[in-house]
Amino acid sequence: DIQMTQSPSSLSASVGDRVTITCRASQDISNYLAWFQQKPGKAPKSLIYAASSLQSGVPSKFSGSGSGTDFTLTISSLQPEDFAIYYCQQYDSHPLTFGGGTKVEIK
Amino acid sequence: QVQLVQSGAEVKRPGSSVKVSCKASGDTFSSYAISWVRQAPGQGLEWMGRIIPVLDLTKYAQKFQGRVSLSADKSTSTAFMELSSLKSEDTAVYYCARGDTGLATDYWGQGTLVTVSS
């Protein structure tokens, strides 16, 4: 199975901050990497696919980059509605696997 | 407009089975795979398996092999996840989602809480 390692596991940031989350795959997954946002008590929301493409309706303050084994999710200017848990997922091969999540909290 | 609408919360005894449904709208059933993902309380996301309804083709995570069964009713565009021999550790929210290898997950159901308790 492909292991997905996210860092940090949590971070504190202020409104307006630029935030970067990293995700590392245990083997080459090309660009088969997705990012999701989850708020308490809600289903995950799809943000990014193919490492850097925004899902329909997702604001451009979210961006993704990377290929192979190293990926990043960046939020350019953190807003109150962005405080949530973010997960990466590889969809290169079965079983699909997720990172452990990054909790973005208000400083 | 794609929607995945899941069945309601369940409370089950240890050793029993649960069957969760996921009704899809749009062209999901004709072209896409439905994956099932679970999330234990306070924990991360865990992929359980997927079904391609048009082909009736299933793939399961090794961890759940033999205990999970995915099926689909094409006439009603509804996918099902049945988990047997339930244990307290199976208490979780179960999600259906559209996606598979090579095709990123884009839509999610609202989740179904399954509580296993004696």
Give the contacts of B9 (CB within 8 A, at least 6 positions apart). B112, B113, B114, B115
Residue B107 contacts A, CB cutoff 8 Å: yes
A19-52 pLDDT tens trace:
999 999 999 999 999 999 999 999 999 999 999 9
Between β-strands A102-106 and A10-13, what pairing exists: parallel, antiparallel or unpaired?
A: parallel
Please answer whether residues A4 and A24 qualify as being in contact, where contact means their C-beta atoms are separated by less than 8 angstroms: yes
Residue B82 contacts A, CB cutoff 8 Å: no
- Percentage of residues of chain B with pLDDT beyond 90: 94
Q: How far is the C-alpha of B85 from the C-alpha of B38, rounded, in Å?
A: 16
**Residue among A43, A89, A97 whose CB faces B109 most closely:** A43
**What residues of A are in contact with residue B99 (Cβ under 8 Å)?**
34, 91, 96
Q: Which residue of B has its CA nearest to A57?
A: B106
- pLDDT > 90? residue A64: yes
Helix (H) or strand (E) holding B31: helix B28-31
